[in-house]
Structure 1
Amino acid sequence: MAWCAPSDPRYMVESLEAPADGAYQIAMVRVPPELNLELFEWTSAQRRTTMPSIADVDAHHLGLRVSDIDAAVAHLSAVPGVELLGEVKQVPEGALGAGIRFGDLRSPWGLNLELVDRTHEASRPAPRP
């Protein structure tokens, strides 16, 4: 992947509120049947090099629904730089969403990820029409 920068620095400032010297790499991820994700990595002389805390105003979090959380956590934990944050948890019996299992990870670049497995949810909501 190569770094991309629009030919007009005004675009960066006016349309994206990014520094005029901003450049980015983009990865397009398609998850069938119809989910498309754009992942950007930005660079600039003004770029902050520390990630925000999950509780900060500008923090980011990506939640993904999986069908086998144990397999997903095992796979992602084997990726260099991915950190499992605690153990896989389960919503207790009697609580709303009982049976849902979830786990939190951090990507090598600091993005917080949440994996959610609803395959054993006690009372699943009705599908949307």
Structure 2
Amino acid sequence: MNNRRSKEAFTLIEIMLVVVIIGIIVGIAAPKISGKFGKAQNVAARASLKAVEGAIQSYEMDNLRLPDTLEDLTKQKDGNGPYLKPSELMDPWSQKYKYTKGGSHGIGFDLSTTSPDGTEFNNWD
């Protein structure tokens, strides 16, 4: 009976071997996956920045002036707007976009954000 029991169960060595193999696979795959995730966030930041820029331009066309703050884009005024949801004022890293009315780069406003790795995304490049 003892002989039959040992054939039906996994041994500790077999379980440890499976855990080590899984650890090796995760160790190889994790860096590759995290690199793709960072690139995806950068693409999302560029697209989101363009969407906020478009909302600012729509606000300007409807109101004949630039918004004072980005929060103005989330409110309805005189039958216009809202242009964005409050959650759309955040970049992929959950930071608020930096907006300056009266831009310093030859356009009417500056809009930018910076990723955790220091990459800057803006509307004047």
Aligning the two structures, in what range does the TM-score lie when normalised by the shorter sequence?
Answer: under 0.3
Based on CA coordinates, which of the two structures has the bigger radius of gyration? 2
Specify which structure has the higher proportion of helix.
2
Q: What TM-score comes out, normalization by structure 1 length?
A: 0.20
Specify which structure has the higher proportion of strand.
1
